[in-house]
Every structure is written in C-alpha cells, then in structure tokens.
Amino acid sequence: MAEVDPAFIQPTEFRPKVKVIEADEIPVIDLSGNTNDIVLEIGQACKKWGFFQVINHGVPSELRKRMERVGKEFFDQPMEDKKLVKRDEVNPMGYYDSEHTKNVRDWKEVFDLLVKDPSFVPASHEPDDEELRMLTNQWPGYPSEFRDTCKEYAGEVEKLAYKLLEFISLSLGLPANCMHGYFKDQISFMRLNYYPPCPSPDLALGVGPHKDGGALTVLSQDDVGGLQIKRKSDGEWIPVRPIPDAFIINLGDATQVWSNDTYESPEHRVVVNSTKGRISIPFFFFPAHYVMLKPFEELVNEQNPARYREFNWGKFFATRNRSDYKKRDVENIQIRHFRI
C-alpha cells in the first residue's frame, strides 16, 4: 500500500477533512462498581451516544496484549504468506487486503474468525430459500500461538459481551437474561484490523461511515487512535480517545430494533494517518441465524407503537454480507427498510 490508488478515494462527503470536535468525549464506565449505578450510566450512554468505554471489565490485560502481538506478527508477514488463508465468497473467514478486493473502499488489512466454529448462516438472502451453509475458520501456520490466543481471547470477550447485554437489558427495564436465548447458536465473529500508514490520509478512510448490524460490538484499540463517532445532536465527528486497558462498546442495529428506537445504532468511521499503523480488534456479537428481530413487547404500547416489522436476522446478515464481495446496483439493506 505504497500509494493511494484512485479507487481508494472516498466521495467528498466521506472524506475526513470535515470539522472534528475534540472537547466532547464518550462516557467511561467502571464495571466494578455498584450494579444499579452501572445500569444507570449505561442507559444514559446508550441514549446519548450509543457508545461508551468500559474499564475493570474482567478481560486479562496480559491476554489482550498477547492478542495484539500475535495480530501484528501475522500482518507483518509477506503478502504471499498471508494470502494462504485468504477469504473469498465461498469462505468469508480469513485474511483479506482491501487493495485486492472487488469492492475497494477501505485502507486496511483484515483477518476474520468465527466465535462458534462451525457456524451456520443462510445460503442466500432470498426470503423463500431455507438452505443453510456452514462457515468454518481457516488458521494461519504463523504465528504458532495465533489460533490458541484468538480462541482464548474470544472466549473472554464473549463473557464480557453477555455481561454488557445484561446491563443493557436492565437499563431498558427488562430482565437481565432476556436476550441470552437469542445467542445460543450465535454467528458472532471477531476481526483483526490493521490500518497501515497512508501516504495521503486526506484521500482515504480506514473504514467509511457505517453502522454495525448485530447486538453490540466490543472493540479493543491500541494507543494510535483513529475511531470517530458521529454525534447525534449535530452530526459532528467525535474522536474516541484511547484509554489503556479499556474496551469501546457500541450498540448495533439489532439492539436498536429490540429497544424500539429507545437506543440507536450509532454511525462511526476510522481515519488513517501517514506515520503510524494501527491495530484494532472488534468482537461482533451476533444472534443466531434463525432469530426473528422485532421490538420487545414490553416496550410497545399505544403511546409507543412498534416501529419495525418483524424480520429474520440471518437473512438480514446474508444480504449485508454479500456486499463485501460484489458491488451491488441497489442500496445495502438497512433496518430502516423494515420500519413501519
């Protein structure tokens, strides 16, 4: 990635030259505190931002550092070695370099892995197609501890994701475990992102503006920074300050639907710089493919009617996932397409 290819140049409205506010920051929540206080703080953060950071979360710091180290060792390999585990349309788990995909848009390298291996997802987005396909992980031979470290790390972050889901449920006035059943056969996955230094950072983005589709995302980022969220009150981009040993949490579309728009899935992006590479590790907490998404009945009444019609999460995922490999003539599906 020595030069910025014209294909990387973002449409003007997506370029990071817009005004960025430095003063406002998303909340930092200590998970070792009183449960009632945590629930209140998370509820307030979800309403205002859809984003927050957590400390004292229970994931060992040593494991997190080891995860970043093996990720960096993998990405530092020659391209021909990384491409031995290259993903494709048949198997979307593994390595890809945005420079070599058909849908070039982001300045980054990626390695994806399933939390539950194997996982089953709809074979297509067609409503009447009930066929499933099995996804499995593919693992590089180097670093030798890559596979075991990824599996150990994913297991610890999964525990944190369930804990956060309980706090979010309580903040909505629902039972703590009301969402657990949706994740019995989860299709969650973890991603290692590497954003190389970019010679023309004003012409590219690490990741363009987007919203996450699942329940929530648990993100580890290094000390370089680059994540920005769009503030709902005025649309300004707010940088998320790296905090040592903190995880960044953001809500996804599924939680927005379940909450009947009480909480909103926030728009965010990643900017790059010309001097430093950046490693980040998001854990995307996704329900099972057969889960039907609709607002919780406890949150719906005459004064607050349901704002979404019921739809299948797996088909929603399959439709969005297709756009990773092929440019489409129609807009990528969003939850607003199911709004009543």
Give residue-wise pLDDT tens across range 249-279: 999 999 999 999 999 999 999 998 889 999 9
- pLDDT for 321 equals 66
- pLDDT for 279 equals 95
257: which residues sit within 8 A by CB, 6+ positions away? 293, 294, 295, 308, 335, 338
CATH 3.30.9.10 applies to domain 6-116+143-338: no
For 81-121, give the DSSP string. HHGGGB--SS---EEEEGGGSSS---S-EEEEEESSSSEEE
- pLDDT for 327 equals 44
Name the pTM for this structure: 0.89
- pLDDT for 105 equals 58
Residue 299, classified by CB atoms within 10 Å of its CB into exposed (0-12), middle (13-18) or buried (19+), is: middle
Residue % of the chain over a pLDDT of 90: 72
- pLDDT for 320 equals 75
Give residue-wise pLDDT tens across range 42-62: 999 999 999 999 999 999 999
Distance, CA of 225 to CA of 227 (rounded, Å)? 6
Q: Which of the residues in the chain have pLDDT under 50?
A: 1-23, 100-104, 323-330
Report the b/e string of 264-283 with b at 16+ CB within 10 A.
bbbbbbbbbeeeebbbbbbb
Count H helices and E strands in the chain, helices first: 6, 16
Distance, CA of 188 to CA of 119 (rounded, Å)? 9
- pLDDT for 21 equals 42
Tell me which DSSP letter residue 299 carries.
G
